[in-house]
Amino acid sequence: MNLYPRFAAHVADALGALTASGDLPAGLDFSNVTVEPPRDSTHGDLATNAAMVLAKPAGMKPREIAVMLAQKLARLPDIAEAEVAGPGFLNLRLDPQVWRDELGAIKAGAGDYGRSTMGTGSSVNVEYVSANPTGPMHMGHCRGAVVGDALASLLDYAGFDVTREYYINDAGGQVDTLARSAHLRYREALGETIVIPEGYYPGDYLVPVGKALAQEFGDSLVSAPEAEWLVPFRQRTVALMMDLIRDDLAMLGIRQDVFFSEASLGSRVQQALDTLDAKGLIYEGVLEAPKGDAAEDWEPRPQTLFRASQFGDDTDRALKKSDGSWTYFAGDVAYHYDKLQRGYTALVDMFGADHGGYVKRMQAAVRALSDGQVPLDIKIVQMVKLMRAGEPEKMSKRSGNFVTLADVVEEVGKDVVRFIMLTKRSDSQLDFDFAKVVEQSRDNPVFYVQYAHARIASVGRKAVEAGIDLPTPDLSLLDDTDLALVKVAAQWPRIVEQAAATREPHRIAFYLADLAAAFHTQWNMGNDDAARRFVLADNPALTAARLALAQAVGQVIRNGLAVMGVEAASELH
RNA sequence: GCGCCCGUAGCUCAGCUGGAUAGAGCGCGGGACUUCUAAUCCUGAGGCCGCUGGUUCGAGUCCAGCCGGGCGCACCA
């Protein structure tokens, strides 16, 4: 069992014993009792609020409970000291041997140290990217891709059965426009001089598509009516765009399990809506006019509506357009119905900030379809402001000259892109400055973490170079200063669970920065005091112990980076 | 007008899903080192956590209402 759950169990046992002996009244609710490391480390290694939480229901004074609990816990060999403090906290100081043992646990666990079983038995579908297949990925898509992918890895690491999924929006008007744009490029490939009208996709990436179409169809469709070529052109162009997108994803190290086509839904849209209809959640009605600027061309019209307002949405939502075809929402309802039928116990969608208004209706639909049994968590990912020497770069897909994901990855590397995308909470805006992200300094967390790992890798090499004959590590040689570093590394399993529970992968990046800082601090002590160095030519025994410490830190850094999808560097240039 | 997200140090942001004296980096002040464990280090100052109420033993965190910023608002995807 991991260190923190183990001590939580000790506290629970002690409370149980006090209940059994009649010192505490029976039937108390222990669910609000926490056992956590206190923010201020001078308060010890662990603190529990048990006495304060239980005081009122037990009809006792907090300190009275705390003292009894302290007496019980102080008897345990792992606990060096149990002290009542403040309004009724019980602070625990662990025996140093606990931390030495944890070093062994890190070594033994290796890449699995920190893996959790919290998700065992749960299967989660994480849908991310889902960029329209109308061109290569640009930086607007990048953050959602990285955060979604890291979240999927994180949940996997926390024991969930994870499916990584991409929804291909290949059924709407935009892909028709794409097909028409490709038709122009097709004619161009056959020698015509073309003019790309406003509203079409002007990007050069359609030039090879036009050539491929020319090769396949010859000139037979140049002046044919649109009805003859629209469907095949759309199909082929979308397929080629998805190839581009998959290449882009591969550059980021992303490989998704399922690519789900909107167009493939077909009659299943009707089936999904029948399910809602059977629940009495669909009706023909007229919506009230929305307030504000969007109301100008409003006209009351009877529509097919879903009773989203019964499930927390602000209003009911249209399922059919005025021309009788399904709305995008109707398709998405069917898509999520499909996910539910696949049996996931939880769904996660990553949305761009501009789709924030869509959250409630989607959750309403899933709530209705699953009878509230399957939660849909929608994570909003804010925009990335791309900066180049302080100057913001615009990115618009329509303009044709957007900054592509591929350009950025080629310039700064996959690992830098992925790490930076996780250095902020995903729902707050992020600046990505080309100069800053590759800077080799303290304030660049990518560098700082990688540098720590590289130092750790080099420390072993240095010991060899120094010709030190290393014995088997004797961890009892490590003192409190050394063990302070273990305490940070030992947080890793907790961080994994917290990040997975809140579904916030950025916590991993922040933690790694903390761990790196703790390591660098330790390292820097060697400057003032040579006895604190990791490699000591005249003390092979201590060197071996310190190297074991360093390697444990390196292991945790690697595990964290692996969850983030970032490769750990063993040297920097 | 309504809904969602966000207001934390001069700046950029964390804050363990309610805990103790609110943290980090940059910047600013002071100091150290003239080197290879310096692609610096140590240290100090700096805060009515937007405002006002409420819940609680305890609130940056939860609730309500304001103020300020961003996004969205029948039929696009």
A241 bridge partner residues: none
Amino acid letter at A92?
A: L
- Does strand B come within 7 Å of the CB of A380? yes
**What's the angle, vertex CA A440, arms to CA A436 and CA A445, rounded to 5?**
70
Q: Which protein residue lies nearest to nucleotide B2, measured between its Cα and the C1' atom?
A: A291
Question: C-alpha dihedral over A509, A514, A516, A519, to 10 degrees?
Answer: -160
Convert the pLDDT of each residue in A263-277 to its tens digit: 999 999 999 999 999
- Does strand B come within 7 Å of the CB of A526? yes
- Does strand B come within 7 Å of the CB of A329? yes
Convert the pLDDT of each residue in A201-235 to its tens digit: 999 999 999 999 999 999 999 999 999 999 999 99
Domains of chain A: 3-94 (3.30.1360.70), 173-251 (no CATH), 445-564 (1.10.730.10)
Q: What is the mean pLDDT of each run of 10 residues along chain A (573 residues)?
A: 90 94 91 88 90 91 93 94 90 95 95 95 95 89 93 97 96 93 97 93 94 96 95 96 96 96 94 95 87 67 91 91 92 97 96 88 95 92 79 53 85 93 88 87 89 92 84 94 93 94 93 94 89 91 94 96 94 80
Question: What local confidence, expressed as pLDDT, does residue A354 receive?
Answer: 84
Question: What local confidence, expressed as pLDDT, does residue A400 receive?
Answer: 47
Nucleotide nearest to A91 (CA to C1'): B20
Q: Supply the pTM of this predicted model.
A: 0.95
- Does strand B come within 7 Å of the CB of A385? no
**CB count in 10 Å sphere of residue A390:** 9
Q: How far apart are CA A519 and CA A484, in angstroms?
A: 10
CA A87, C1' B58: Å apart? 9
- Does strand B come within 7 Å of the CB of A246? no
Joined tokens for residue A342: 């696949």
- Does strand B come within 7 Å of the CB of A38? yes
Dihedral angle sign, alpha carbons of residues A309, A312, A315, A316: negative
- Does strand B come within 7 Å of the CB of A454? yes
Question: What local confidence, expressed as pLDDT, does residue A396 receive?
Answer: 44
Amino acid letter at A207?
A: V
Q: Where are the alpha helices (DSSP H) in A357-466?
A: 359-369, 405-412, 414-421, 434-437, 445-465
Nucleotides of B under 7 A from a protein CB: 1-6, 12-17, 19-26, 37-42, 56-58, 70-77
Joined tokens for residue A107: 């070594």
Query: Tokens 């709305």 belong to which residue?
Result: A327
**What's the angle, vertex CA A165, arms to CA A161 and CA A167, rounded to 5?**
155
**CB count in 10 Å sphere of residue A130:** 23
Question: What local confidence, expressed as pLDDT, does residue A389 receive?
Answer: 63
Nucleotide nearest to A535 (CA to C1'): B37
- Does strand B come within 7 Å of the CB of A470? no
CA atoms within a 13 Å half-sphere pointing along the CA-CB vector of A41: 8
CA A464, C1' B21: Å apart? 46
Joined tokens for residue A231: 């469907």
- Does strand B come within 7 Å of the CB of A303? yes
Question: What local confidence, expressed as pLDDT, does residue A294 receive?
Answer: 53
Joined tokens for residue A94: 């662990």
Those residues whose C-beta lies under 8 Å from the C-beta of residue A324, and which sit 6 or more positions away, are: none
Q: Which protein residue lies nearest to nucleotide B76, measured between its Cα and the C1' atom?
A: A173
Question: What local confidence, expressed as pLDDT, does residue A417 receive?
Answer: 94
Question: What local confidence, expressed as pLDDT, does residue A103 receive?
Answer: 95
Q: How far apart are CA A171 and CA A331, in angstroms?
A: 9
Nucleotide nearest to A462 (CA to C1'): B37
Nucleotide nearest to A291 (CA to C1'): B1
Q: How far apart are CA A169 and CA A320, in angstroms?
A: 17
**What does residue A425 show for φ and ψ, rounded to 5 degrees?**
-60, 140
Q: How far apart are CA A103 and CA A105, in angstroms?
A: 5
Question: What local confidence, expressed as pLDDT, does residue A212 receive?
Answer: 97
Burial A42-79 (b: 16+ CB within 10 A, else e): ebbbbbbbbbbbbbeebebebbebbebbbebbeebeeb
Q: Report whether A552 contacts A480 (CB < 8 A).
A: no
Q: How far apart are CA A57 and CA A74, in angstroms?
A: 25
